[in-house]
Amino acid sequence: MKVKAAPGSQEMQDALRNPLVHVIVNILLQVIDETFFRRVALFLNMYTQRTQPGFKEKLQALHAYAENIQTKNDYSLPPNTSMSFFKR
């Protein structure tokens, strides 16, 4: 994955430099369906700060959708990873 520079809050810029963000994106590209990837991309475009109205609810919805995909498709995440990043 290659991240390109883009305008955004300091929090967003920090996230782009965080290696865990790159790990998360790589996992998304490898093990999930296209619909979920699009939902995550839309979420990231819409919410640039966790203080925005609706952030928590949409993040919880993404988490629930991800858990449903995991159960339905019976895939396993790579070692030392979990869906816990959705709970932050």
Instruction: Round to whole Å and give the CA distance between 82 and 69.
Output: 14
Query: 């990873």: which residue's tokens?
Result: 81
What's the CA gap between 24 and 27, in Å, rounded?
A: 5
Q: Greater confidence, 36 or 88?
A: 36
Round to whole Å and give the CA distance between 1 and 56.
27
Pick from 33, 57, 45: which is nearest to 7 by CA?
45
Average pLDDT over the chain reads 75
**pLDDT at residue 68 tops 50:** yes
* Portion of the chain with pLDDT greater than 90, in percent: 12
The predicted structure's pLDDT at residue 88: 45
44 vs 12, more confident: 44
Say whether pLDDT at 35 is over 70.
yes
